[in-house]
């Protein structure tokens, strides 16, 4: 099988694409798979690291404001259709798969022109612009939430599969856990809070955590804190201006990005994070309690809607972005992390919505489409 996967920008789009690619390679080792992205996003790190080739086009997301830059970006995105068409003509894929985001626009437009079968995957409960734009023309749309169907009434075929992820629930040996903690420079004596703001980081979360550790509010727990690559140096610089060194803080390990996220999620006792669809899925899979800080949106509160699903189950707490500060975060963490029974109960409830055999279902849909 020859496959093109369009995925760009953030891990929320890229990692599901990689998970789909990995399943295809597992089933058909001789498959040829390439990704199409831009030269700006996280795909330039994650895709090669996963062992796949990445082709570039110059595409941009649509913005509501009218400016010369926005108009220029729209023209570049339209122009990139011919570049996407050239990639598809040269590679001659059996199918084109998109995991949402602006990159799908030019790639799917090119695929439609060349009459190549297409599948879109939408992780969020409310579909994004690209998925709605191509809902009529895509041969099939796979969704992570059942609620998404009501927004895709014009689609040819919609199938609930869940959201693909590389994360699985695993029982780490005590030796491996100790090795991970030793490498991070933290101990096995206190509960572990894993904090991250998505693949790019989250400035609001980072600010609250920075203040929290400066005030030494984490005496009863340890923090593994992924800041996002772009913000890592900014936080270090800010601390240095205050004559502080992050390496000297007790019970804290700050890193730009976590590559072994599966292990980190499985050793954590509590997670503090955004509530993108993939993160919701991963929290449910590893059966961990969470404090969600949804990314606010002017158009649709996708992340808050996602977070409410687990909150209603009693598996998560929510702090709205505009209400977040170090004291609020510290209080919420302490309310959960000091109660072992509550940690267990919340994690167990999270597992109730964990999807099963997602990648297998997606692979079967791909094979069924190609057999027609």
What is 301-354 written as a DSSP string?
A: -HHHHHHHHHHHHTSEEE--GGG--HHHHHHHHHHHHT-HHHHHHHHHHHGGG-
Q: Exposed, middle or buried: residue 321 (CB in 10 Å: 0-12, 13-18, 19+)?
A: middle
∠ CA 321-43-318, nearest 5°, is: 20
Angstrom distance (rounded) from CA 186 to CA 192? 9
Angstrom distance (rounded) from CA 24 to CA 29? 8
Q: What is the pLDDT along the chain (372 residues), one digit of tens a residue?
A: 999 999 998 888 898 999 999 999 999 999 999 999 999 888 999 999 999 999 999 887 766 667 777 777 778 888 889 999 999 999 999 999 999 888 999 999 999 999 999 999 998 878 888 888 888 999 999 998 887 898 999 999 999 999 988 789 999 999 999 999 999 888 778 999 999 997 667 899 999 999 999 999 999 999 999 999 889 999 999 999 999 988 888 899 999 999 899 999 999 999 999 998 889 999 999 999 999 999 987 556 788 988 998 999 999 999 999 999 999 999 999 999 999 999 999 999 999 989 889 999 999 999 999 998
Query: Which residues touch 364 (CB under 8 Å, ≥6 apart)?
Result: none
**Domains in the chain, ordered, with CATH?**
2-163+356-370 (3.40.50.2000), 174-353 (3.40.50.2000)
Q: Do residues 370 and 117 make contact, with C-beta atoms less than 8 angstroms apart?
A: yes
Match 């593994």 to its residue by tokens: 224
The pair phi, psi for residue 317, each rounded to 5°, is -115, 155
Report the DSSP beta bridge partners of residue 60: none
Q: Do residues 211 and 322 make contact, with C-beta atoms less than 8 angstroms apart?
A: no
Q: Residue 321 carries which DSSP code? A: G
Angstrom distance (rounded) from CA 25 to CA 22? 5
pLDDT in tens, 315-354: 999 999 999 999 999 999 999 999 999 999 999 999 998 9
Polymer length in residues for the chain: 372
**Positive or negative CA dihedral for 131, 135, 139, 143?**
positive
Query: Which residues touch 182 (CB under 8 Å, ≥6 apart)?
Result: none
Angstrom distance (rounded) from CA 71 to CA 74? 5
């Amino acid at each position: 099988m020859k496959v093109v996967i369009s995925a760009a920008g953030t891990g929320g789009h890229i990692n599901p694409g990689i998970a789909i690619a990995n399943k295809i390679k597992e089933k058909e080792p001789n498959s040829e798979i390439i990704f199409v992205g831009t030269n700006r996003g996280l795909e330039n790190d994650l895709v090669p690291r996963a062992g796949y080739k990445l082709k570039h086009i110059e595409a941009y997301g649509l913005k509501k404001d009218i400016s010369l830059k926005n108009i220029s970006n729209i023209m570049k995105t339209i122009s990139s259709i011919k570049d996407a068409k050239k990639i598809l003509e040269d590679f001659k894929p059996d199918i084109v798969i998109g995991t949402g985001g602006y990159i799908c626009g030019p790639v799917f437009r090119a695929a439609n022109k060349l009459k190549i079968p297409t599948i879109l995957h939408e992780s969020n409960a409310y579909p994004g612009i690209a998925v709605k734009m191509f809902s009529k023309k895509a041969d099939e749309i796979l969704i992570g939430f059942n609620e998404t169907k009501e927004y895709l009434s014009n689609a040819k075929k919609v199938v609930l599969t869940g959201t693909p992820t590389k994360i699985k629930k695993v029982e780490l040996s005590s030796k491996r856990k100790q090795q991970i903690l030793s490498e991070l420079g933290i101990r096995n004596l206190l509960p572990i809070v894993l904090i991250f703001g998505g693949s790019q980081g989250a400035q609001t979360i980072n600010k609250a955590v920075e203040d929290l550790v400066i005030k030494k509010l984490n005496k009863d727990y340890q923090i593994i804190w992924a800041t996002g690559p772009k913000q890592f140096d900014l936080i270090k610089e800010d601390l240095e201006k205050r004559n502080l060194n992050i390496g000297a803080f007790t019970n804290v390990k700050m890193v730009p990005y976590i590559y072994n996220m599966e292990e980190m999620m499985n050793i954590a006792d509590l997670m503090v994070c955004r509530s993108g669809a993939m993160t919701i899925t991963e929290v449910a899979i590893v059966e961990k309690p969470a404090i969600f800080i949804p990314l606010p949106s002017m158009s649709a509160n996708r992340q808050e809607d996602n977070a409410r699903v687990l909150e209603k189950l009693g598996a998560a707490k929510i702090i709205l972005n505009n209400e977040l500060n170090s004291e609020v975060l510290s209080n919420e963490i302490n309310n959960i992390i000091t109660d072992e029974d509550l940690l267990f109960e919340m994690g167990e409830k999270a597992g109730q919505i964990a999807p099963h055999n997602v990648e297998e279902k997606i692979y079967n849909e791909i094979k069924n489409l190609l057999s027609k």
